[in-house]
Structure 1
Amino acid sequence: MSRGDEDYARAMAAAVRHSTAWLQSLPERRVGPSAAAHDLTDAFGGLLPRQGMPAEDVVDFLARTAEPGLMAMPSGRFFGWVIGGTLPAALASDWLVSAWDQNAGLRYATPAMAAIEEGAGNWLLDLLGLPAGSDVGFVTGATMANFTGLAAGRWRLLTDAGWDLDRDGLSGAPRIRCFVGRERHDTVDLGLRYLGLGRPAVVDADGQGRLIPSALDAALREGAGPALVCLQAGNLHSGAFDPFADAIAVAKKHGAWVHIDGAFGLWAAAAPELRHLTSGCEDADSWATDAHKTLNVPYDCGVAIVRDASALRSAMGLHTSYLVHDAEGPGDPFERVPELSRRARGVPVWAALKSLGRDGVAAQVRGLAAAASDIAAGLAGLDGVEVLNDVDYTQVCVAFGDDDTTRAVTARIIEDGRVWMSGSRWRDRDILRVSVSNWHTAGEDVGTAVDAVRSALAAVRGT
């Protein structure tokens, strides 16, 4: 064994030791961090030392010093934002991805990575009920997944309008009219901004945040020219799904490209009991989701899916003499994403799906929705708690009378540390938002969540 081999072995052993300790601490530890970033700045900053430190010692120092500033996001008691945990097979395979150190952009250069990601992509299309043969790309997260699908739509719409986007850019191009629901996620607007498409027209939504198809029809009728419609699978607050069949029929009548932001909601299609929520979404042109959320793989792993492979590869791809292409395959992975160099993000997705199987994925999605329903029922039974949304999926929004009380209860819950639930504002009210995204969340976590809210409300009321 060479000296380098020994260094690897000792550093990896230290990483296993600290990672195992971290995972074992999750059931009991406070969810929120006990130190702020400014508390840790000196330890991690200052002048770069002249002399280096052995790799094993670096890992020890890193784990020991960072520990107070870690949030227990992988805990079953973490309900903030929409953040999942990590399945064992996905975590371990992600370590392999780092050890293998493959640049997953070229099929010819890294055939194992390409084959694994292609397998994962085909499994995803099948699980989510999306068109076979669609292109699947693994990106950093839902933001870039939205960007990628929208980029393919921009290319197709302008090409069909007779405009050569690659040659002439956007200056002087036909204007693409973009339409979004009133309660879309802001990253859709961000993707449109990245693409130079400007602010979208906002279409009215119902009380749960679902886009109203008749309002979309009226908006599309107001002008002419290429159109791009963005729909949503899983509202950030209510968890609601746009009425895909009707909305897509309206959009297609006007010749629009339809993109669906399904960061966490697209996974409802994998559970037979919840599949009705995504009914009709298969008729869209592109879809975005995030495997770190509902599937529970490590950061970072968004998934961009596009029906029109030529549009996606024209928008994302390049050809140059120094790259060796695999002429016999379905194209290179880099042609489906905004990056030429990247880690093999699809490997943990493959591992998660392989470890769960079709029934396991369905059970995991079903379990998240059931836990959300149980939390909502428990909270609704508390005096002074109002559940504001129809809990059809994994999101619960509650209020405690006036905004001041809601903010105070939210702050008290975070201070208590048994659970983490984040505040937000929805339908002109301050709310406490509960997002169930972690495969660890079980009955005892539901009970802890309800009790934490009960205690915080009693403390704010002074009872």
Structure 2
Amino acid sequence: MNELTLLAEADDRARRYTENIPGRRVFPDQGALQALAAFNEPLPAHGHAAEDVLRLLDDIGSPGTVASNGSRYFGFVIGASLPAAAAAERLMLAWDQCASSFDNSPVAATLERVAAGWVLEALDLPRESAVGFGTSATACTLSCLAAARRVLLARKGWDFDNDGLAGAPEVRVVVSELVHVTVKKALRLLGFGMNKILYAPVNHHGQVDPERLPPLDDMTILCLQAGEVNTGEFDPFDVLIPRARGAGAWVHVDAAFGLWARASSHAELTKGIEAADSWTTDAHKWLNTPYDCAMAICRDSEALAAAMNSDAVYLSGARDAQKNLTLEFSRRARGIPVWAALRSLGREGVVSLGDRQCALARRIAQGLAQAGFEVLNRVTLNQVLVRAYTDELTVAAREAVQASGEAWFGATVWQGRPAFRISVSSWRTTEHEADALVQLLTRLAKPR
């Protein structure tokens, strides 16, 4: 089988997979999981035909997938890929570009520069900001925090690039006591030390309480949240950020999905967020691009470019070349699906996408409350935090839904007790799936 025939076969198999998403189990059954053992083989001494490799991948691999690209998946704020974004991704694979700089790929550099401008416009963030398209919120947070520390040290006359951290003035970090684990991971990798981090107490909604905020100064990085992972709540940016900036602190906002509220009718939730110094967000959540697509956004574009610079004698690039804004040197053009999503949606479509997800979350919450469940949050965004009649039934209901294959959402713990978290983030999800989820839970969670 020649290359073009093989690619056509792959396209056919991918098309059939997509066509079958509506009827697919949301989580694989036991038979599909056991069949994955077929991949546990020794490295072949002699290679197999490419068509045989593709056939095995589809025949065994496809049944073992989670249908997170469907309409009945409510876990981890994972959005299905928009058609335009998925199609752009397929064309990108054919281009096979190393999207480090204009010299590597003129089209990638052009489209990612356009996409960066559109993101800043859609999110109404400072237009002079740099936008680096990275792999994940974790990687992008690491980039932003590295830039933040470098700037704070430079203000004290310390040359971080040449002198490192040994003997450097201490940079303090203040985070919410409900800080996301990816921020903690980035801080740990940067060497801040988990025992040195200061935690800001939160109120019963999960927002940082301004009255109990630890002291800030000009050697502090304050990390806030837009969209707390359980409740979907937003820290009071309009109160906290002016206080931090008045003290000379750097403010970073972890906003993997919540930042996109600014591109919806719920923008008031983010009031004051534009005054921060840096932000991270994912496109593969609310914007519904394919996975592996996040953004590091930094108000001081020079700060991010200086911290992430990777110019070499054999490959230099513009200040805003993506290799100089992200961790990766060799990289794929993650901003192209963002460009495709935004061009296909337009401003009105972006607003509609976010509004619909929030409306469906409220619909699910209302239905579950009427059925006797305890909805634990205010459902300000697309997150619904729920308990059943007892802790035991909460766990049993979640496990029963997961086992049913009809829907999927994950477990969590809220204020020391089991709960489950329903996230609405797919463009495919409609009122039909929202109502079906309520009915399924109501049926499975009846007291025995």
Q: TM-score range by the shorter chain?
A: over 0.9
Provide Cα deviations, 1:112-169, integer angstroms capped at 9, x if missing partner. Answer: 1011001000000001010001100010111112111111101111111111111111
Determine the structure 2 residue equivalent to 1:20. 15
1:275 to 267, 271, 279: 267
Determine the structure 2 residue equivalent to 1:201. 198
Q: How far off its partner does 1:351 sit?
A: 0.4
1:49 to 44, 49, 54: 44
Provide Cα deviations, 1:41-98, integer angstroms capped at 9, x if missing partner. Answer: 5411222223323323321221111122111111111001121110011111111111
**CA distance change for structure 1 residues 314 and 256 in 2, over 3 Å: closer, same or farther?**
same
Residue pairs, 1:47-446, within 5 angstroms: 47-199=42-194, 200-216=197-213, 219-220=214-215, 226-271=219-264, 273-326=265-318, 330-383=319-372, 385-446=373-434
Provide Cα deviations, 1:202-237, integer angstroms capped at 9, x if missing partner. Answer: 001111111112222xx115xx55000001010111
The residue type equivalent to 2:230 in the other structure is: H
The residue type equivalent to 1:247 in the other structure is: L
The separation in 1 between residues aligned to 2:247 and 2:104, in whole angstroms, is 43
The residue type equivalent to 1:430 in the other structure is: P
- Aligned residues: CA RMSD: 1.5
Worse overlay, 11-20 or 82-91: 11-20
The residue type equivalent to 2:205 in the other structure is: Q
Q: How far off its partner does 1:332 sit?
A: 1.7
Q: How far off its partner does 1:315 sit?
A: 1.1
TM-score (norm 1): 0.93
- Asked if structure 1 preserves the Cα contact closer than 8 Å seen for 2:226 and 2:258, the reply is yes
The separation in 1 between residues aligned to 2:306 and 2:35, in whole angstroms, is 45
The residue type equivalent to 2:378 in the other structure is: D
The separation in 2 between residues aligned to 1:279 and 1:100, in whole angstroms, is 41
TM-score (norm 2): 0.97
Q: Which stretches in structure 1 are left out of the alignment for 5+ residues?
A: 1-5
The residue type equivalent to 2:305 in the other structure is: R
Determine the structure 2 residue equivalent to 1:3. none
Worse overlay, 255-264 or 188-197: 188-197
Partner SS state of residue 27, structure 1: helix
Provide Cα deviations, 1:236-265, integer angstroms capped at 9, x if missing partner. Answer: 111001111111011112110000011000
The residue type equivalent to 2:204 in the other structure is: G
The separation in 2 between residues aligned to 1:207 and 1:129, in whole angstroms, is 29
Residue pairs, 1:442-461, within 5 angstroms: 442-458=430-446, 461=447
- Asked if structure 2 preserves the Cα contact closer than 8 Å seen for 1:396 and 1:434, the reply is yes
Worse overlay, 336-345 or 26-35: 26-35
- Asked if structure 1 preserves the Cα contact closer than 8 Å seen for 2:32 and 2:60, the reply is no
- Asked if structure 2 preserves the Cα contact closer than 8 Å seen for 1:318 and 1:335, the reply is yes
**CA distance change for structure 1 residues 443 and 38 in 2, over 3 Å: closer, same or farther?**
closer
Partner SS state of residue 102, structure 1: coil
Q: How far off its partner does 1:394 sit?
A: 0.2
Partner SS state of residue 227, structure 2: coil
**Which aligned runs of 4 or more in structure 1 are off by greater than 3 angstroms?**
35-38
**CA distance change for structure 1 residues 38 and 355 in 2, over 3 Å: closer, same or farther?**
closer
The separation in 2 between residues aligned to 1:64 and 1:434, in whole angstroms, is 31
Q: How far off its partner does 1:179 sit?
A: 0.5
The separation in 2 between residues aligned to 1:374 and 1:364, in whole angstroms, is 16
Provide Cα deviations, 1:421-456, integer angstroms capped at 9, x if missing partner. Answer: 111101222101100011111011011110110111
- Asked if structure 1 preserves the Cα contact closer than 8 Å seen for 2:36 and 2:61, the reply is no
The residue type equivalent to 2:310 in the other structure is: L
- Asked if structure 2 preserves the Cα contact closer than 8 Å seen for 1:294 and 1:437, the reply is yes
